[in-house]
Structure 1
Amino acid sequence: MPAIRRTHTSTSTSTPPSRRRVLASLGALGLGAATAGCGSGQTSAAGTVTLNFQWWGGDDRNVATAKAIELFERRHPKIRVTTSFSGYQAYFQRLATQVAANSGPDVLQMDYYELRAYAADGLVANLDGAEFSGISLGGIPRTYVNGNRLDDKLYAVPTGISTQALFVDPKIWRKAGIGLPKAGWTWDDLLNEVGPALKRAAPGRAALTDFGGYSETFNVWLVQRGKSIYRSDGSLGFTVADLTAFWELTARLRDKGIFTPPNVTASYDGSTDSSPLVRKLSTAEFNITSTATPYFQAYGDVAAVPFPTLSAGAPLGLTAGAGAMCVQQRCAHKREAALFLDFLLNDPAAGGILGVVRGLPPNRSVLNQLGSSLTGGDRVVYEYVAAMEKRFASAPIPPSGSDEDKLEFRRVYEDLLFGKQDVRGAAAKMVEKYRTTVPQG
């Protein structure tokens, strides 16, 4: 699935409630509710501790996680792990209800766009505490660990690596005589050389699927210029002039026929079936790296290349994202929860069972252990991340409700595509929307 859509499986086809309403319900609970009562963990008369672990995901993730838990319980016979899982939307609706009832899991999967809300309201534990000393983070690059810090406190541990890429048809790009661009190719290269060469090599196909409607690509463009959509405190990190300049660039790419035309761009609903690359209407497409395997399944061989940037030595704009897991503040058995998280992160046998069901494992030795056996899209991502990660930038945790801004970004861009707004007017409208989300000083 593309960046604008979740990569998670949903069990419901009904329209979910506004994420901001769910998050507002969390804020109303406050710290008192988070610390009231006891955690869901229990201790039996025989001294066996029970932890509850919840996550979202599809069948491959669920089966692999269950097998890893079986191994953990064999290793730790005095700890039992009960589990539950669902699709993404159902997961967070249920979690909000559980938290409101002073219940819920001890260990939980956490989304990047939800972490700030849960941490700010005291609902998840600070993992820097002494009771979590059993979690070893020495084998995980600091970039991935620090991406889960707020106010210098660690509220989650990374469980899967992802970043941004252009997925390209390597045969067409080589036929065009440009090969696969290396880090440092430029926006001018795309406008003046790469784009026109691809058009000549693949008549009837745009060079790239228009990515102007993705806030993620805008953030790449901003990071290349020393900015980002959000600052570390969640406040807005760009201006109307910045967004205007970005959308003027995408307009130039569209006017030169390098981007897909508006009707094709708007028909892309996030599914593989509607992908212009898969439909052979473009030769390359922006996405997050966790989508490489679906491209292989639906299209065939693809390669991952970095975004164009300002100059050969300029920042690439790529940010390190990582799936995350937290411990609920009210958990009664934090030390046992720490042992469980350490096992999932660092144990080689667990890494072999889990593979890449949550993305590339962040533990370097576990990742290298898996590397030689990876194929297809997983291999492409492994090699891409290995080549790029030393140049990854930090990614501030966004404010609560910012995932809705991603959807609005797409809607406003479509108004721009079809002439309902001019570039500056659309940029001003989108910035005003962002200002309803960010903290107000």
Structure 2
Amino acid sequence: MSSGKKMWSAALLATAVLAVTAACGSGSGGESADGKVKLRFSYWGSDARQKMTEEAIKKFEAKNPNIDIEGEFSDWASYYETLSTKVAASDAPDVITLEIRGLREYADRGTLADLASKVNTADIDAKVLASGAIDGKQYAIPTGVNAFSLLVNPSLVEGSGQKLPDDSTWTWDDYVDLASKITAKGGGKVTGTQLSWNPAYLQIYAAQKGESFYQGNKLGVSPQTIKDWWAIMQNLIKTKGAPDAAKSSEIGATSIDQSLLGTNTGAMGMWWSNQLGAAAKASGKDLDLLRMPKIQGATTGGMFLQPAMFYTASSKSEHAAEAAKFIDFMINDPEAGQIILSDRGLPASSKVLAAVKDKLPDADKKTLAFLDKVKGELADPPAAPPKGSSATEDILTRYSEEVMFGRMTPDDAAQKFITEVNASIAG
């Protein structure tokens, strides 16, 4: 996910939460000094996302002069820590942005309101909408859709004397080979690709082996699959197709605009498809999307459609109707869509997508064309994962780095990763 630049220290966060709690005492927005309804809206992202969101908020306020929206923006790294602290202090924002892996956790806490029939969802694909439902209640409305994909800079690939792959047939061995050749011809200035620890990558690879990422409240990925997945990364490091462990760890903690692809020092990388625009803007180059490579002989590519994020409402909001009205605006109003475009995924509302598709930047038009091309291959959006799964990425990153640095064997790391994730999601 894209990240901003603001970081809250624990002390500042605690002070802010205590101050807001003391001032409101209600766990929601309340009223402004002029008698208007005040709603608090939490979200994460880049500076660019903050700017466009504030513009959309102003548009909503102009149409609803009795409602003030107070945006509570943070960078990705601190978002859930900040949100968790507010929820624990009975100070949840009225409208909360969540991603799918945090959805069940907050729904099970009783934090979220059921939005069924409160927000117009007639123009959202039923399978996409279902990903925001838990136990028959529509706790979350998807903002837009995307797919975890491989992003590529064609000019750097071709500048190294290589050709873009046929992504309908290429394998992981082809990927490693291409990356290593790009580095070899890069003159020390260009690396083939960078490593990714995103669970979506492992989920795609596991699906190619016929395995589900989760099976109920247990991890469904086998130790052998995890070890084989790490072997791809080890081969990339060994062949210099990707940076060494130290550099990979360093750049893995940065946003996409600071990535190898974003700084024109790497030809490929894996991100969500809605991040193509941010990468293209950072690099100043024309970038493309490719299907993920496949295991030789795999009957499925493993890629899947997923909501980029969701809008949810606090179950304790004093202004539930107004919160639902704001969510409806952000999802269904073409004017909001023309501001936000594909920043939160290609719009989930088919009417909004139709209204904005001709106005999308070139990179977003590429994203739309790519998803249209591969939609018949994509698995349905997954259901919300088990409670506690929001910790999976951090756990996966930690053990992946242990293996890449050679501090732990793949056998030991795979077993410990599975044990730790299963403990986290046991419920």
TM-score scaled by structure 1? 0.79
Amino acid at match of 1:425: D
Match in the other structure for 2:175 = 190
1:162 corresponds to 2:166: no
Contact 2:145 2:306 in 1 (8 A): yes
Q: Distance in 2 between matches of 1:261 and 1:363?
A: 43
- Secondary structure of 2:292's match? coil
Preserved contact between residue 296 and residue 376 of structure 1 (Cα < 8 Å): no
**Pair 1:413 & 2:384 matched:** no
Residues 1:125 and 1:413: Cα distance change in structure 2 (over 3 Å): same
> How far is the alpha carbon of 1:9 from its aligned partner?
2.2
Q: 2:6 aligns with which of 4, 7, 11?
A: 11
Identity over aligned residues, as a percent?
Answer: 24
Instruction: Identify if the C-alpha distance between structure 1 residues 99 and 75 changes in structure 2 by more than 3 Å, giving closer, same or farther.
Output: same
1:423 correspondence with 2:410: yes
1:221 to partner: Cα distance: 0.4
Contact kept? 1:234, 1:397, Cα under 8 Å = no
Q: Does 1:229 align with 2:213?
A: yes
The answer to whether the 8 A contact 2:209-2:298 is kept is: no
Pairs aligned (count) = 406
CA RMSD of the aligned region, Å?
A: 3.4
Cα–Cα, structure 1 residues 12 and 368, in superposed 2: closer, same or farther, change >3 Å? same
Q: How does 1:288-437 map to 2 (within 5 A)?
A: 288-299=272-283, 300-310=285-295, 311=297, 314-393=300-379, 394-437=381-424
1:147 is matched with which residue?
131
| 8 A contact 1:147–1:396 mirrored in 2 | yes
Aligned-residue offset at 1:95:
4.0
Within 2, Cα distance between the matches of 1:90 and 1:279? 24
What residue identity is the alignment partner of 2:230?
A: W
- CA shift in 2, pair 1:390/1:137, >3 Å: farther
Are 2:216 and 1:242 aligned?
Answer: no
Distance 1:304 1:384 in 2: 7
Instruction: Render the CA deviation track for 1:340-384: whole Å, top value 9, x for unaligned.
Output: 322221122221233334333211231232222222433332332
Q: Give 3-state SS (helix, strand or coil) of 2:336's partner.
A: helix
Does the CA-based 8 Å contact 2:176-2:232 persist in structure 1?
no
Instruction: Please tell me whether residue 122 in structure 1 is matched to residue 110 in structure 2.
Output: yes
Match of 1:24 in 2: none
| Cα distance change of structure 1 residues 215 and 351 upon mapping to structure 2, 3 Å threshold | closer
Instruction: Give the AA of the match of 1:398.
Output: P
Residue aligned with 2:219, SS? coil
Cα separation, 1, equivalents of 2:232 and 2:315: 46
Deviations 1:294-319 (A, max 9, x none): 32233222211110124585234234
Is 1:178 the counterpart of 2:173? The answer is no
Query: 1:14 and 1:376, CA in 2 relative to 1: closer, same or farther beyond 3 A?
Result: farther
Scaled by the length of structure 2, what TM-score is found? 0.81
Q: Which runs of 5+ in 2 are unaligned?
A: 13-24
Which structure 1 residue ranges, 5 or more long, are not aligned?
1-5, 18-36
The CA distance in 1 between the partners of 2:78 and 2:268, in whole Å, is 33
Identify the residue that residue 21 of structure 1 maps to in structure 2.
none
Identify which range, 330-339 or 340-349, moves more after superposition: 330-339
